[in-house]
Amino acid sequence: MNAAAPQLHAFDQAISLRATAPNQFTGSTSEAYLNMVGPFGGVTAATLLNAALQHPEVIGEPVSLTVNFAGPVGPGEFEIEAVPLRTNRSTQHWLLLQRQDGQVVTSASAFFATRRETWSEQQIACPEAPAAASLAALPLRADRKWFGNYDFRYVSGLFDPTQAEESSDTESLLWARDNPPRPLDFASLTALGDIFAPRIFHRRQRFTPAGTVSMTHYFHADQAQLARVGNRHLLGQARATRMHNNYADQIAHLWADDGTLLLTSTQVVYFKE
């Protein structure tokens, strides 16, 4: 790294967009975040959110985001259309469409709001976990290049097809952060919400073709809370409620290391067999 001109983090490169016309942005897929087929979905989601975040008409901060993975994102350029569908006094609803060759590859909706201080309470407790520093980092994998941009430290529920036994449940618990470390923001939290292997991999400890179809994030944290996290690990927990005829759901939570719940996320995942 050159101290005079610090290199952009691979994540910031991956989600960077250039405005081309009102509501129109262009970007390019990142080699660094390649998954088995196309880019890691978390980075695609973060890129769509980023179009709203850097739109000149944006108000408030993200409260919810739904991303629908409609078709494979091919390598190279893409267009994002970001339309503020409805702007109220302190809330804003967005439609976000990612296209390649004129065809929709990803669609999303986002809800932004200006929050005021109210009565607040966290209803679910952060699970007990040994400190991230006491756990081994997950080794890198050549077939999932995006792993290299994260530091994953599994507490339990690792998908490991070399295990002889199926798991009795679908729950995984792990620490995660960007690698190299990067201060947490809404875009990186969006991507971190998609780090969990398909629950069916862990449940059966074997691979089947699978991929997220739709993902919904609820951001419980505001910018000040994200800033307090800095670049420290988040604790992530994911489980499924039902897997049935090609589709399974996942409910996940991401906590700061002080026990604050930052994100509740659900997704529905295709699996082949």
Site residues (CB under 8 A) for its own copies? 63-64, 66, 68, 70-71, 85-86, 88, 91, 93, 95, 97, 103-105, 107, 109, 111, 113, 115-124, 169-170, 203-204, 213-214, 216, 218, 220-222, 239-247, 249, 251, 253, 261, 264, 266, 268, 270-273
Q: How is residue 25 written in tokens?
A: 């942005």
Nearer to its own copies by C-beta: 10 or 238?
238
Question: In whole angstroms, how close is the CB of 56 to its own copies at the nearest point?
Answer: 20
Query: What is the rounded distance in angstroms from the CA atom of residue 250 to the CA atom of residue 255?
Result: 17
Query: What is the rounded distance in angstroms from the CA atom of residue 176 to the CA atom of residue 130?
Result: 13
Nearer to its own copies by C-beta: 10 or 200?
200
| Exposure b/e, 36-73, CB count within 10 A at least 16 = b | eebbbbbbbbbbbbbbbbbbeebeebbbebbbbbeeeb
Question: In whole angstroms, how close is the CB of 112 to its own copies at the nearest point?
Answer: 11
Nearer to its own copies by C-beta: 47 or 107?
107
Torsions phi, psi of 104, nearest 5? -70, 125
Nearer to its own copies by C-beta: 141 or 272?
272
Query: What is the rounded distance in angstroms from the CA atom of residue 229 to the CA atom of residue 188?
Result: 12
| Exposure b/e, 124-153, CB count within 10 A at least 16 = b | eebeebeebeebeeeeeeeeebbbebbbbb
Nearer to its own copies by C-beta: 20 or 241?
241
Question: In whole angstroms, how close is the CB of 266 to its own copies at the nearest point?
Answer: 5
Question: In whole angstroms, how close is the CB of 139 to its own copies at the nearest point?
Answer: 28
Using an 8 Å Cβ cutoff, are 221 and 263 in contact?
yes
- Long-range Cβ contacts of 1-6 (<8 Å, 24+ apart): none
Question: In whole angstroms, how close is the CB of 106 to its own copies at the nearest point?
Answer: 9
Nearer to its own copies by C-beta: 144 or 220?
220
Query: What is the rounded distance in angstroms from the CA atom of residue 273 to the CA atom of residue 264?
Result: 28
Question: In whole angstroms, how close is the CB of 111 to its own copies at the nearest point?
Answer: 5
